[in-house]
Structure 1
Amino acid sequence: MTSLSRYADTAPYHHLGDSSDLNEIRSALASTGVVLEQWTADAILAPDASDADILSAYAGDIGRLKDIGGYRSCDVIRLTPDHPDRTMLRTKFLAEHVHDDDEVRFFVEGAGLFYIRHDAVVHALLCTAGDLIILPADTVHWFDTGAQPHFTAIRLFTTPEGWIARFTGDPIAQAIPLYEPQP
């Protein structure tokens, strides 16, 4: 279930509250410029659906986003507990960073935790299957897959290079609680 936890962005990083109400979450994120939507597939996907099957099932929404946001490419990323690069990817995503491009992710299955730092608050947004998140370019954030990642997401980009980060060097990501999914 989609949820939001909030923390002060200075030590001792006090916990400021939680919500799983989508309207409250959208309201809390409004000042950050982050968009949160929920989608449903145009087709039922098999557990072993190919990337092409996934992109086809969401073609209408992908097309709408491309038209609105100027996104020129999209792909599917999958991260599972047996992925050989899961530890390296988690470490990379856990470092606070910004992008020159919007970060657009739609969660087809599984979950991941986006941390958005804005106006002295860290918004820890748990995205789950059906969630679309759009972080505008230059949004300070990081992402946690958990130690045993499990998600499939569609990514959209305005540039052909795709995911390029500028890391802030701030160690805050190690001070806020990590994503530990409940079994």
Structure 2
Amino acid sequence: MSQLQIFPVEAHGYPLPTLASNDPALIAAELAQRGIGFEHWPARVELAPEATTEQILAAYAPEIARVQASGTYPTVDAIRLTPDHPDREALRQKFLAEHTHSEDEVRFFVEGRGLFCLHIGEEVLQVLCEAEDWIRVPAGTRHWFDMGSEPCFTAIRFFDNPEGWVAQFTGDPIAERFPLLDGALPGRGH
């Protein structure tokens, strides 16, 4: 189930959220107030475990067309990470560092889950995205992403830059102070 938790930036120790909700309407409203798009769409196709990127994109062609109809996101791909992915730990560590993009980050989760952490002003918003969640993080938003120690998700990614996902890392260690996907603080276990 999708979840939103909002923490103050200055949280210390094991931070407690000032807001926690699983209500999709409340999640969408809170995120919209901060310029983040969030919608709940049906993930109507069960993908085969060996589905290729092309098969994933073909299975969700209507949803891709819906997003691309505006002309804003001409490039699309799919990412599927599983617990046996050989680069899972390196990819996890890369995504855990706070970064920005010069383009919107748009994802439609069709399987599994991942944790978007958004550093907006004096807040950190943690958005647990699961299958059927569509999220749009505007360009320039400071954020990080946790796929967990045993990643298991498939997401369709939309880009306005034909080069795809390019991150500019901030160097801020803020991500080290907030819970990971499994609820543990980085480097501290449960």
Secondary structure in 1 matching 2:7: strand
CA contact (8 A) 2:24 2:40 kept: no
**Residues 1:65 and 2:86 aligned together:** no
- State the Cα deviation string for residues 26-84 of structure 1 (Å, max 9, x = none): 12112221111122245453343332222122212211211225211111111111111
**Residues 1:6 and 2:6 aligned together:** yes
TM-score, normalising length: structure 1? 0.92
CA distance in 1, matches of 2:45, 2:89: 33
CA contact (8 A) 1:41 1:57 kept: no
Give the Å deviation of 1:17.
Answer: 2.5
Cα distance change on mapping 1:42 and 1:148 into 2, 3 Å: closer
**Unaligned runs of at least 5 residues, structure 1:** none
CA RMSD across the alignment: 1.6
Number of positions where the alignment pairs a residue of Structure 1 with one of Structure 2: 181
Secondary structure in 1 matching 2:126: strand
- State the Cα deviation string for residues 98-136 of structure 1 (Å, max 9, x = none): 100110111110000000111311110000001111111
Identity %: 51
- Which portions of structure 1, spanning 4 or more consecutive aligned residues, are displaced by more than 4 angstroms? 41-44
**Matching residue of 1:16:** 18
CA distance in 2, matches of 1:43, 1:6: 32
TM-score, normalising length: structure 2? 0.89
**Matching residue of 1:119:** 121
**Unaligned runs of at least 5 residues, structure 2:** 184-190
CA contact (8 A) 1:3 1:18 kept: yes
- 1:168-179 matches, cutoff 5 A: 168-179=170-181
